[in-house]
Structure 1
Amino acid sequence: MSFRVRPVRGEDFAAIYEMAKLTGGGFTNLPPDRGTLVGKIARSEESFARAEDGQQGDMYMFVLEDPAEGLVRGTCQVFGQVGVVQPFYSYHLGNLTQTSPELGKTFRNQLLTLTTDLEGSSEVGGLFLHPQSRAGGWGALLARSRYLFIKAHRARFGERVLAELRGVMDEAGNCPFWDGLAGRFFGMHFSEADEFNAVHGTRFIADLMPRTPIYVSLLAESAQAVMGQPHPTGRPALRMLEEEGFYFDRYIDIFDGGPTVVADTDDIRTVREAATETVCEIGDGGRTKALVSAGQLTDFRACFANMKRVPKKGLCLNREATELLEVEVGDQVLVVGR
């Protein structure tokens, strides 16, 4: 039996908590805090249980599961709308050109401006794979299953989707961007601020951060060098996002300076290319590799499958995939090329 993606359940807490302790810090959506994780799982269950359609401040958490072994080896999240409960802050990197006729010189300066431009967007995040499961393409299964869920529940999500990537920090948890900017206003180490943010939210940012634009040239070179750069472990995730059509629109995280990438929801490759098909046969599935999902809300499942098209009838899926998806002949599935 292979892996599948499904909604988180209360009994998954122990596995989620163990993975949270392996993130290495700076992973706001998966903090190693028991109370916060219990709250996240409860919030996810409430979101899946909500009957009426429409975009709200939902949070949907998924797990990567090996049903045969009873193991959970990954997790990811989708947020229906950011900025609902608390403002969603980002820095936007802009330019200011100034000319002095007397000196005969033109100066072009970069500015960081605190904004809430991205409020109302949906968000994908919280993706983490257990170190023992980082081969076999399971990260792609986790990541792309979120887009199939969005496609299957389109009314619950906005016109734009964002993803925040963790910024650069060293093994000791030091963050050059934090040390060069926000840390000077908060009087605390990055790890303390990051933990506080993960548990309590971002309201304290509005209370203490300067509202005026920041000249980048005034920051330490170490801070400037990492602006908009992902943590080395996040580069594969960035490549997957870019393959889906996400792009860097000069928004960066106010804590660690990591990039925030965005995409129009209906232009995300998996959302755009996924098609509804009917299962007409169960067999070996043929040679075509695909990503397939089935079910709505709490019944949502996604996995890799072998498939072949049967003219005028539908799809033949391999038996293992139909067992993972819990579908039978006559059921509908969402299918996109692997």
Structure 2
Amino acid sequence: MSFRIRAARVDDLQHLYEMAKLTGGGFTNLPADRDSLTKKLERSDRAYQSNSNVQGDDLFVMVLENVETGAVRGTSQLFTKVGQTWPFYSYRLSTLSQTSKELDRTFSAQMLSLVTDLEGASEVGGLFLHPGERAGGLGMLLARSRYLFIKEHRDRFGDKIFAELRGIIDEAGGSPFWDGLAGRFFGMSFQEADYFNAIHGNQFIADLMPKHPIYTAMLSESARAAIGVPHPNGRAAMRMLENENFSYDGYVDIFDGGPTMIAKTDDVTSVRNAKSARISALGKGDTKVIISHGKLSDFQATYAMLSEQDDGVMIDEQAAANIGLSVGDEIGYIPR
């Protein structure tokens, strides 16, 4: 089977809704709510139709499509500038050291502070791959094709970029971090708060959350253990982000305590190493790569076998057919 990445359309709603029901919670960017998903797709469509060359408050939704059947089997999202519609909150983990001369001892305490440090940055998020397709590198295709899109539309994105990884969620769908901290102030379960945030935004956090730092020693052991730890299903995603030059700098999600991975946009490995070339021939290449072609709503990406030549690159015919390429077309590409 062959797959391609393309811009999401409004008529992809049913596909996204069915996938949203499979996430198991904690995916704020992919709520199982038709109205919210429709608004996302409409917002994405406006972004794809805009020819702006400056960073704005845009959302680009992409989908992974089976070329043979047309079935949508995965999705991912790009936010060009967070914190514009409502504040973007994170917890920042820091350490305070204090010394007592009388006791001749120094005490170090970890604290969580509510911050909006990441406002104005871009975000890669909303990545979900259908459970039936978690093989063959399709997750990597979904994730890394976004960086080719960023490279092609660099002016639309900020100088800093981040990704929030889902935190620890138990078998009942609860979050030990939420239960040990924010849940005590809101009178709602993690699933209720997560769903409310996905539908209405997180202004209620600003309204109700204490603004002073929280000493982690006052949290339950299970809550402390969840700080900055990704969900078991997200460990591969964390390694993939680390390979792209993202790092964990002590920022965690305010709902489940999952780690936020941050990078300078131009230092992201796939952005920095992306190349462009003209297709000089169709044939059997010798290196597996991810290729892309087109701008905005015409953007598409797929896996290809590629060989670099003196007058351009040669790619395999199946890859060319996947995204409608011919000899003479310009592509972007990165090694797999």
- TM-score, length of structure 1 as denominator length: 0.98
Which residue does the alignment assign to 1:125?
125
In structure 1, distance between residues paired with 2:309 and 2:147? 26
Would you identify which runs of 4 or more consecutive aligned residues in structure 1 move more than 6 Å?
none
Which residue does the alignment assign to 1:181?
181
Which residue does the alignment assign to 2:115?
115
Which residue does the alignment assign to 2:321?
323
**Per-residue deviation, 1:147:** 0.4
- 1:1-338 to structure 2, matched below 5 A, reads 1-284=1-284, 286-311=285-310, 313-338=311-336
Secondary structure, aligned partner of 1:305 = strand
**Per-residue deviation, 1:113:** 0.5
**Per-residue deviation, 1:310:** 1.9
In structure 2, distance between residues paired with 1:194 and 1:318? 44
Q: Which amino acid aligns with 1:55?
A: Q
Q: Which amino acid aligns with 2:200?
A: H
**Per-residue deviation, 1:325:** 2.1
Q: Which runs of 5+ in 1 are unaligned?
A: none
Secondary structure, aligned partner of 1:28 = coil
Secondary structure, aligned partner of 1:178 = helix
**Per-residue deviation, 1:283:** 2.1
Could you give the per-residue CA deviations for residues 27-68 of structure 1, whole angstroms, max 9, x where no partner exists?
A: 100010110001111111011111121101100000000121
**Per-residue deviation, 1:196:** 0.2
Secondary structure, aligned partner of 1:82 = coil
- TM-score, length of structure 2 as denominator length: 0.99
Identity of aligned residues (%): 56
Decide whether the 8 Å contact of 2:160 with 2:262 is kept in 1: yes
Q: Which amino acid aligns with 1:297?
A: L
In structure 2, distance between residues paired with 1:184 and 1:310? 62
**Per-residue deviation, 1:114:** 0.4
Secondary structure, aligned partner of 1:254 = coil
Tell me how many residue pairs correspond in the alignment: 336
Q: Could you say what the CA RMSD is over the residues aligned between the two structures, in angstroms? A: 0.8
Q: Which amino acid aligns with 2:312?
A: G
Q: Which runs of 5+ in 2 are unaligned?
A: none
**Per-residue deviation, 1:151:** 0.3
Could you give the per-residue CA deviations for residues 94-118 of structure 1, whole angstroms, max 9, x where no partner exists?
A: 0101111111111100010100001
In structure 1, distance between residues paired with 2:113 and 2:183? 17
In structure 2, distance between residues paired with 1:11 and 1:83? 28
Q: Which amino acid aligns with 2:221?
A: E
